[in-house]
């Protein structure tokens, strides 16, 4: 399924469906394909919005978690979205957390899956090596429970990014920014209902990270999915969509305090 990427000023984004806004924030090597099943499922009842985060387009000074959060804030203000269900995977979850801590007013609920912000292994033991296809394949497979998820298409996407010296520098800058930006002391102030969906076989943000988020975010619920790695919405889309759908329906039925 291909979707139209819309343009509004400096922003590029996908917007499908009508209803309450479900905004998706992708991770460091994220693409629309990561959310394909989720978009198709939820566009029937929600306005699904995916801003194209300028991970590798910002100047080096602003290539950070904080820089991405400012971009998201400007996007939300520019498009005048309200009552947002904010979902983030990996680095996108981290950006979502920083946003809800700084600007909670327009966020109705938060959904995190494999989020950084407390602890992450990044790409594994080392930073991406340029031009080494087998290395990139292994590190991409590290993201999943099933190594077959590291398709040639996905490997090609990562290889293209990591073959560019400046893009690699920006990836390293974002990874270091995420490690430095530990949110453990701030999470208790999140008031919105929060759904944590974690792969039981996540190598990047292992299950104990999901448990720690659950302990620190007051109004949170935690769901583990077996035989699943760092990107549940890609690897086990049906289970992921079922959990998310149940959560969103519950939020809809809960009176605003």
In a domain, 138, yes or no: no
Q: Which residue range forms the structural domain that includes residue 242?
A: 6-121+183-253
In a domain, 163, yes or no: no
CA distance 140 to 134: 10
Give the CATH number for residue 200.
Answer: 3.40.50.1820
Question: What pTM did the predictor assign?
Answer: 0.91
Q: Does residue 232 sit in helix, strand or coil?
A: helix
In a domain, 56, yes or no: yes
Q: Does residue 1 sit in helix, strand or coil?
A: coil
CA distance 158 to 34: 13
* C-alpha torsion sign, points 222, 223, 226, 232: negative
Task: Give, to the nearest 10 degrees, the angle between helix 165-180 and helix 65-79.
Answer: 90
Distances in Å between the alpha carbon of 210 and those of 56, 59, 119, 194, 221?
27, 32, 10, 12, 10
| Mean pLDDT per 10-residue segment, the chain (257 residues) | 87 96 88 86 97 84 89 97 96 96 97 91 50 79 89 84 80 83 92 98 95 97 97 96 98 76
CA distance 34 to 83: 24
In a domain, 171, yes or no: no
Give me the number of domains the chain comprises: 1
CA distance 36 to 244: 15
CA distance 112 to 121: 17
What pLDDT score was predicted for residue 46? 97
CA distance 155 to 161: 10
What pLDDT score was predicted for residue 134? 83
């Amino acid at each position: 399924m291909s979707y139209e990427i819309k343009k509004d000023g400096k922003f590029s984004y996908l917007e499908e469906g009508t209803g309450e806004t479900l905004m998706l924030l992708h991770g460091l090597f994220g693409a629309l394909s990561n959310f394909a099943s989720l978009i198709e499922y939820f566009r029937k009842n929600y306005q699904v919005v995916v801003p194209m985060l300028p991970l590798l387009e910002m100047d080096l000074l602003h290539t950070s978690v904080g820089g991405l959060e400012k971009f998201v804030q400007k996007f939300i203000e520019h498009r005048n979205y309200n009552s947002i269900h904010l979902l983030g995977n990996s680095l996108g979850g981290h950006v979502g957390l920083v946003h809800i801590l700084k600007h909670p007013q327009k966020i109705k609920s938060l959904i995190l899956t494999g989020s950084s912000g407390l602890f992450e292994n990044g790409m594994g033991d080392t930073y991406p090596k340029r031009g080494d296809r087998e290395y990139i394949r292994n590190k991409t497979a590290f993201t999943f429970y099933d190594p077959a998820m590291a398709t040639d298409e996905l490997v090609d996407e990562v290889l293209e990014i990591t073959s560019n010296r400046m893009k690699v520098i920006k990836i390293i800058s974002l990874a270091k920014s995420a490690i430095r930006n530990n949110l453990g002391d701030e999470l208790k102030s999140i008031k919105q209902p929060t759904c944590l969906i974690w792969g039981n076989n996540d190598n990047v943000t292992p299950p104990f990270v999901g448990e720690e988020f659950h302990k620190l975010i007051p109004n949170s619920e935690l769901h583990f999915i077996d035989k699943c790695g760092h990107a549940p919405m890609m690897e086990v889309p049906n289970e992921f969509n079922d959990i998310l759908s149940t959560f969103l329906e519950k939020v809809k039925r809960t009176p605003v305090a």
